[in-house]
C-alpha cells in the first residue's frame, strides 16, 4: 500500500469512528509523518463557563492530545516494512499518551480553531510531539507537548 493512501484511510476511520472526536466536532484535515492538523468549529456545547463564549480548557487539551497522536501515528505507520491492515492495526493499538502538557496563552475565542502538531522526537519506544492551537484570525491560543508510547 502507498503510505499516503494509508494515511487517508486512517484519517477517514478516525474522523468517523472515534466517539469523543465526533462529539466535539474534530476533523483531521492533514496527516503526514511530520505534520498533522485538526480543524473544528465553535459550538455552544464547548463553552467552559456559564457566561463567556470561550472554549473549555478540556477541549483545548483534547484537541492537542489528538493532533499529537495523529502525527505520531503517521510516523509509526511510515516505519512499518510492507504495511498491511493487520500490521497497521497492531501498531496503532500500541499508541497511548504517557503525558501531556498544555500551556494556555489566551482565552479560546473564535469561530474556527486549527490545531497543528509536529514530531520532535522519534523513537522505537517513545515519541514526542509539539502542538499549537490557533483561531481563524491566527491568534495563538495554546501550546502543548505530548509524550506518547509507540
Least gap, CB of 56 to its own copies (angstroms): 4
Question: Can you tell me which of 25, 47, 109, 139 binds its own copies, judged by CB under 8 A?
Answer: 47
Residues 25-44 that bind its own copies (CB under 8 A): 44
Should residue 81 be labelled a site residue for its own copies when binding is judged by CB under 8 A? no
User: Cβ of 77: how many Cβ atoms within 10 Å?
Assistant: 20
**Helices of type H across 79-115:** 85-93
Grid cell in block for residue 34: 511530520
Angle between helices 57-78 and 3-17 (to 10 degrees): 150
Should residue 5 be labelled a site residue for its own copies when binding is judged by CB under 8 A? no
Comparing CB distances to its own copies, the nearer of 33 and 60 is 60
Least gap, CB of 136 to its own copies (angstroms): 20
User: Cβ of 35: how many Cβ atoms within 10 Å?
Assistant: 16
Alpha carbon dihedral 62, 66, 68, 69, in 10-degree steps, equals 140
Closest residue by Cα to residue 46 from 112, 101, 92: 112
Least gap, CB of 128 to its own copies (angstroms): 6
- Enumerate binding residues for its own copies (CB under 8 A): 13-14, 17-24, 44-50, 56-59, 61-63, 65-66, 96-105, 107, 120-121, 125-126, 128, 130, 140, 143, 145, 147, 149
Amino acid at each position: 500500500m502507498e503510505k499516503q493512501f494509508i494515511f487517508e484511510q486512517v484519517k477517514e476511520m478516525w474522523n468517523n469512528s472515534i466517539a469523543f472526536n465526533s462529539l466535539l466536532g474534530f476533523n483531521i484535515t492533514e496527516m503526514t509523518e511530520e505534520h498533522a492538523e485538526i480543524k473544528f468549529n465553535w459550538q455552544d456545547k464547548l463553552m467552559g463557563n456559564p457566561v463567556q463564549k470561550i472554549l473549555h480548557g478540556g477541549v483545548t487539551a483534547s484537541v492537542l492530545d489528538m493532533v499529537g497522536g495523529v502525527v505520531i501515528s503517521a510516523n509509526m505507520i511510515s516505519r512499518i516494512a510492507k504495511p498491511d491492515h493487520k500490521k497497521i492495526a497492531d501498531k496503532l493499538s500500541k499508541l497511548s499518551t504517557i503525558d501531556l502538557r498544555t500551556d494556555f496563552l489566551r482565552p479560546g475565542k473564535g469561530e474556527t480553531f486549527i490545531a497543528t502538531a509536529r514530531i520532535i522526537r522519534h523513537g522505537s519506544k517513545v515519541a514526542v510531539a509539539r502542538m499549537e492551537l490557533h483561531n481563524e484570525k491566527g491568534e495563538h491560543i495554546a501550546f502543548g507537548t505530548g509524550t506518547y508510547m509507540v
